[in-house]
Chains A and B, each alone.
Chain A
Amino acid sequence: EAGVAQSPRYKIIEKRQSVAFWCNPISGHATLYWYQQILGQGPKLLIQFQNNGVVDDSQLPKDRFSAERLKGVDSTLKIQPAKLEDSAVYLCASSAPGTKPNNEQFFGPGTRLTVL
């Protein structure tokens, strides 16, 4: 079974530029998550999708971050404009349908963003 795919793996941009990340979840996984992991911290949930609807985006900085999940499969996360403090690893995860606590979340390898 293929895992969660993310691209690009690395991205370096100047502050105030825009950047987009792509995620392809495990086939059949209805729930998709985007996390931000700043160096030395644990992953922080930015947004959770159930199919193509948003379940939770309470920690997404909506003035500069946006995410979409068209057709309930792939997802993109965009930052516009980027700030220095956005430097982090952006992780995508997916889980099987339902909201049971033991629905294991499968993580992709992440995209490491450096904002200069």
Chain B
Amino acid sequence: DQQVKQNSPSLSVQEGRISILNCDYTNSMFDYFLWYKKYPAEGPTFLISISSIKDKNEDGRFTVFLNKSAKHLSLHIVPSQPGDSAVYFCAASAQGSNYKLTFGKGTLLTVNP
């Protein structure tokens, strides 16, 4: 039972353009959402997060949008840079589960120069 779904295994964009990575969830108890970035042979690193009481959180080139009614969130990267090429994982947690992280399968982003 995949509670966090990233339906696009891969995404390719041109440098300078916007990258949009999508994530859907099924568990309505999730109240906190995170994006992690992973380079090959390294562990995931935290990128940005959003609480369920907000619908947008911005940090530099990265913005996460949350649509609770649709159980959907997205990560926008503007402008995209070649160094952003990595696997991006969406993760969700719930207060009632000790904020245990449930991850999606990830989306491989390739930013072409």
Contact = CB atoms under 8 A, between A and B. Distances in A.
A101 to B, nearest CB: 4
Contacts of B43: 4, 91, 93, 106-110
A42 B102 CA distance: 8
Interface in A86-110: 91, 93, 99-110
Nearest to B31: A101
Contacts of B51: 101
Interface residues of A, number: 24
A40 interface: yes
B32 A43 contact: no
Contacts of B31: 101
B32 A101 contact: yes
A45 B100 contact: yes
Interface residues of B, number: 26
Contacts of B97: 56
Contact of A48 (B32, B45, B98): B98
A105 B100 CA distance: 11
Given A93-B43, A102-B32, 15 more contacts: A40-B105, A42-B6, A42-B104, A55-B98, A56-B98, A56-B100, A101-B31, A101-B49, A101-B51, A106-B43, A106-B45, A107-B45, A109-B41, A109-B42, A109-B43
20 contacts: A41-B105, A42-B89, A42-B103, A43-B44, A44-B103, A48-B98, A56-B100, A93-B43, A100-B99, A101-B32, A101-B93, A101-B95, A101-B99, A102-B32, A106-B43, A106-B45, A106-B46, A108-B43, A109-B42, A109-B43
Interface of B: 4, 6, 31-32, 41-46, 49, 51, 89, 91, 93, 95, 97-106
